[in-house]
A and B are shown apart, each in its own frame.
Chain A
């Protein structure tokens, strides 16, 4: 059978859809002008800017933006404001910015742990069910007189104080926590069963546990656990009375119940349980207090409770008791600063107790050192100071500072004062501190210079926290001139420099933020050098990679303004060299490169900024190479992709303007540097191709000898680069791409070479590829479309003068014939049909498209008969193939029937 292509007169222009001019890009979203722009600004600040060529929003980032807006809107609409009802306590004073106790709990629990054995004394746990019969007897008593009932209850209270209490020894911390949980559950249960006396007993026993400092390092956690129970109890009592007082007629009875509670609690024999339980139920005091004076009465009661804590001999127990009272106070009368001030005064009063023989004996028997002991106070002091500082006036804070100064002037107990100063630093408003930066630096200096501190309180905490204050109190620095800041920094650094390496680096880490924010490259350079000097001895840096990384990420921020001076900083590379563990070093490189990539273009949105600065290029290449070198067979795909994209982003920023040769050289180097990353290599090929194309556009298509040579060099670069890739598909694409570039630049031999390479490569395409999820996917569709693409390009590729006509196409046909397709698929037929299309087109007199300055086969052969014969011969061949396939299909059908 023969194939005769239809003659298609060339209309000069390939058929195309109708075109109409538009004023706007169709993808630019509709903008409603009344949308408040502030919100958009807020969101935009947080996101990486994705600019599109048409000035619209890229749909992905638009989606991101939306998701960012929605919660924002929700928040402003329905700001939850829990309000206490009933007692007239208005908690508006405390707002969301107050860090509630509940937020601190988990931190304390995880920080203060122990491996020591603990013990618990109670009568309510497994094996201690002595109270069973007595609770049932209470029921029978309901008919007896009030007096007897009260007597009985009091007897019960006494009862558990003497007998029936079991001591559980040898509990691990975990056991202990479980036991406390059990107590909590027991409390809830007995409350629900209306066994209030039992509930009270449980609470008293719990509170009693707080008097025990036998495993002192666990005490803060114990406090958290037990006060939880107390809080629950307080809530139970409050809710019950609150429920009772719902109706007006019952209010008297509610008051009476309330009064009973207080009478009962007031008769608890021991100080610590009495204090804690009264504090726990103090919220209910509002029910019985004179209505006009609720606040005054509450304050009076709280003051009394605070004073009672003076009766506690152990300073740790006393401080925690005060903390609990403060916790209650912040709920009831948060604005009453005098209460918290009193706590602080009491603290000053009892400071000498911290170092008493009592404490010393305790610590030596438990083998705890004094500085560890002091850190047990941190949660309490932090909390108390937080309560004072919250919305406090500056004058109050001043007062505290003067008190503090007066006390420290005496020179004793500096360990404790260091502790207090530390808490002051962490709790005071950073703005307040920075305004008085000089004074605080002086204070830290006085405390830190005392010899005692070294043994008792690690002073680097002070320096560290001072640093964080300075960093976060940024806005207040406007009042300082550079000279003042430098003096402060020098003062502080003098102290930091004296610390040992492990402490030094922590402080340096914190302070680097400050330096980066307020000083220039010179100071940063000096500090980096200093850090290197400190960290080099004994390879101290090995233990502090985290800090070093963090310093790097801070220093990098500075570079935003001036990448050149950043990279030319002489101590930066030595600093980087301290990272001798590869993974860490790679992390550091990633941070820097990422930052560079993100911010290099931050300032100017419109045009894409590029660089050819040798310092930047060298440093960046070094960093990228470090990342690249870390890639090995075990590296995860994701990691590779991340590194590749960073490197590509960097490469994209490189441009030597008109100096294409230098750029090409850079590409050559880059290829050597990043040879392991396929994506980078393929990017390099693309960008070299781009270089060739830019050259062409500069000479406007008229290549000179020199530019031709350059373009050829580029193509040669691509030609030798592509085979180094593993990925067949990538290679195929690149070959085709390069061939197209070569043809456009009238480099015919190169075009041939690329196409030949591509065609030779085709048999290597596997039939199926394995996807990431383990499924296999057929590559047929790829091959079909690739070959279609190839064929449409082949139309305009002129034949090689020394080879027979349609030499490339014949080669392709051979390859297709030999390629094993799945017999059931019609991929092969599709390809043959495409081949027929191709043959039909090249038999036309004039091809539908051409490349400028390249004579395609139509003008080369001019419908030469020999050429046409070849075409029809090939057509027949292809037709045969198609028909035989059809026949095979028919046979198959017969078989099936």
Chain B
């Protein structure tokens, strides 16, 4: 006796927002009639946190992972024990995505130390001798953009010169340069790219590359203290080789899905983002300028 189990969500994008109904079908494909002891569907939403070994000891990181925060968790029995006929059987379902007691459904985020994930699990219980069937799919929570409030862009102009560098010991070794630019806004909508311009006005040393680094800053706070970690999400090259002086080069980066979410600050964890503009010289020295950004949807 064998049966194949699949969950198909109605929305191809698998993206929902709080208050939506999760609709879809469970598809059974049985080669022979099969008995079962009941079918349940479970919706589960969790914030998983992990302490990095950098901040706490290795063992602590291993054992003391912070207790996950449950955001939503409920199950529904779809069918009582019975039989599944031969062939395809589809069972439609509709589950509301609503939370009790003032909790909010944070938006899906896949990070290094913090993960916000939503699962839909279907379980078919079977008699003692048979293994239970299980199928888990992830669905994504993204809140609808609040387009009612027009967001005011917050542009930033910047100029990088040898004088503006902070951690240089021997200033005489630094080549003369002036890099100016502008970020259109540090308040970014996730659906829109990060944009701006950078211009190498003059520079004595040949440049190898100009890059744009997107960094996440994850903070896990708990009773034992908190851990703050900055890790790279992606690095995009915007200038290749010794770029032409005095020509504005566009800054443009699409925010990757899943790995970004609106900047989130809660009482026991924080997810924030930063952008680094990195100019790498031919001799592998590099200068960076850091910009904290706020992401919204």
Contacts and interface: CB of A to CB of B under 8 A. Distances in A.
Contacts of B240: 211, 270-272, 311-314, 317
A311 B235 contact: no
Contacts of B241: 312-314, 317, 358
A147 interface: yes
Interface residues of A, number: 35
Given A271-B239, A350-B247, A313 B207 contact: yes
Contacts of B137: 145-146
Which of A263, A266, A317 has the most chain B CB atoms inside 10 A of its CB? A266
Contact of B234 (A145, A252, A267, A313): A267
A22 B14 CA distance: 92
B244 A310 contact: yes
B250 interface: yes
A349 interface: yes
A519 B234 CA distance: 69
B228 to A, nearest CB: 23
A568 interface: no
A110 B15 CA distance: 53
A356 interface: yes
Nearest to B245: A352
Interface residues of B, number: 34
B239 A313 contact: yes
Contacts of B236: 267, 269, 271, 274
B210 A311 contact: yes
A266 B254 contact: yes
Contacts of A146: 14, 137-138
Nearest to A150: B258
A315 B12 CA distance: 44
B247 A145 contact: no
Contacts of B162: none
A252 B242 contact: no
Nearest to B193: A266
A266 B260 CA distance: 14
Nearest to B234: A267
B248 to A, nearest CB: 7
Contacts of B234: 267, 269
A150 B258 CA distance: 9
Interface centre among B138, B206, B241, B249 (most CB of A within 10 A): B241
Nearest to B207: A313
A308 interface: yes
B40 interface: no
Given A252-B13, A269-B235, A349-B247, A358 B242 contact: yes
Contacts of B11: 252
B145 to A, nearest CB: 15
A311 B250 contact: yes
A310 B247 contact: yes
Interface in A284-317: 304, 307-308, 310-315, 317
B257 interface: yes
A252 B13 CA distance: 8
Nearest to B197: A307
Question: Dominant SS at the A interface?
Answer: helix
Contacts of B210: 311
Contacts of A311: 210, 237-240, 243, 249-250
A350 B200 CA distance: 13
A749 to B, nearest CB: 99
A785 interface: no
Given A150-B258, A310-B250, A313-B243, A145 B238 contact: no
B184 to A, nearest CB: 13
Interface string B209-220: 010000000000
B243 A310 contact: yes
A253 interface: yes
Interface in B45-75: none
B252 interface: yes
Contacts of A304: 250, 252
B202 to A, nearest CB: 12
Contacts of A356: 242
Interface in B1-25: 11-14
A150 B117 CA distance: 14
Interface string A246-277: 00000011001000001100110111101000
Contacts of B206: 358
Contact of A312 (B110, B136, B243): B243
B256 interface: yes
A304 B196 CA distance: 11
B138 A350 contact: no
A402 to B, nearest CB: 21
A877 to B, nearest CB: 107
B238 A271 contact: yes
B220 to A, nearest CB: 20
B244 A352 contact: yes
Interface in A136-190: 145-147, 150-151
B250 to A, nearest CB: 4
Nearest to A361: B206
B281 to A, nearest CB: 12
A353 interface: yes
Given A147-B258, A271-B239, A310 B248 contact: yes
A355 to B, nearest CB: 12
B147 to A, nearest CB: 15
A277 to B, nearest CB: 13
B256 A267 contact: yes
Interface string B10-44: 01111000000000000000000000000000000
Given A311-B210, A314-B241, A263 B256 contact: yes
A317 B244 CA distance: 13
Question: Which of B117, B137, B240, B247 counts the most A-chain CB atoms under 10 A from its CB?
Answer: B240
Interface in A109-151: 145-147, 150-151
A308 B250 contact: yes
Interface string A331-350: 00000000000000010011
A252 B242 CA distance: 43
A483 B206 CA distance: 56
Contacts of B254: 262-263, 266-267
Interface in B161-181: none
A147 B110 contact: yes
Contacts of A308: 238, 249-250, 252
B237 A270 contact: yes
Contact of A263 (B243, B252, B257): B257
A256 B248 CA distance: 33
A269 B211 CA distance: 9
B237 A271 contact: yes
Across the A-B interface, the 10 shortest Cβ-Cβ residue pairs: A313-B241, A266-B254, A311-B239, A313-B242, A271-B237, A253-B12, A311-B249, A307-B250, A271-B240, A353-B244
17 contacts: A145-B138, A146-B137, A253-B12, A263-B254, A263-B257, A270-B237, A307-B250, A310-B247, A310-B248, A311-B210, A311-B237, A311-B238, A312-B239, A312-B243, A313-B241, A313-B243, A350-B247
Given A146-B14, A313-B243, 17 more contacts: A145-B137, A145-B138, A147-B110, A147-B117, A147-B258, A150-B258, A253-B12, A262-B254, A267-B254, A271-B239, A310-B247, A310-B248, A311-B243, A312-B239, A312-B243, A358-B241, A358-B242
